[in-house]
């Protein structure tokens, strides 16, 4: 089972955002234990930018190194963006995440904003929904 992680799940952990930190950290731990986490390539640059801006360059670099070591990074190319353009999403970035999840044949997109993925071809689940599903 492959999981595409939305940027907000990673930011919950990196920034220790409450009340979302615990569930998102659980997802990251799950993907590390099962070697099944995917991240869209463009999320790496966004994460580096945000951590560098709100913390420092060293932490941003260390985060990127950790992500590269522990997650599958999906490629984004012209076909990815063309696919995203035909998806019926109000937010283009979310459409790109969906296109990347399709490309990697992910089973789920883990996001705190599952309503943003109502047109997704890959089932969106919040961290809490995924945890609840796994415990059944």
Q: What is the pLDDT of residues 4-35, one digit of tens each?
A: 999 999 999 999 999 999 999 999 999 999 99
| Sheet-wide strand order for 3-5 | 72-74, 37-40, 3-5, 108-110, 123-125
Q: What is the pLDDT of residue 88?
A: 85
Domain of residue 122, CATH code: 3.40.50.1010
pTM over 0.85: yes
Decide if pLDDT at 134 tops 90. Answer: no
Percent of the chain with pLDDT over 70: 100
Q: What is the pLDDT of residue 34?
A: 96
Q: What is the mean pLDDT of residues 29-47?
A: 96
d(C-alpha 130, C-alpha 136), whole Å: 10
- Domain count for the chain: 1
Q: What is the pLDDT of residue 136?
A: 73
Which residue range(s) make up the domain with 94? 3-134
């Amino acid at each position: 089972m492959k999981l595409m992680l939305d940027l907000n799940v990673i930011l919950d952990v990196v920034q220790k955002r409450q009340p979302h930190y615990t569930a998102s950290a659980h997802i990251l731990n799950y993907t590390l234990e099962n070697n099944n986490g995917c991240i869209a390539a463009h999320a790496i640059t966004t994460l580096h930018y945000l951590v560098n801006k709100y913390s420092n360059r060293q932490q941003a670099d260390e985060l990127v190194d950790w992500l590269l070591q522990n997650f599958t990074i999906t490629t984004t190319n012209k076909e990815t963006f063309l696919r995203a353009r035909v998806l019926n999403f109000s937010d283009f970035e979310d459409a790109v995440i969906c296109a990347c999840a399709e490309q990697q044949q992910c089973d789920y997109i883990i996001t705190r904003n599952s309503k943003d993925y109502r047109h997704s071809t890959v089932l969106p689940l919040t961290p809490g929904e995924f945890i609840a599903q796994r415990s059944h």
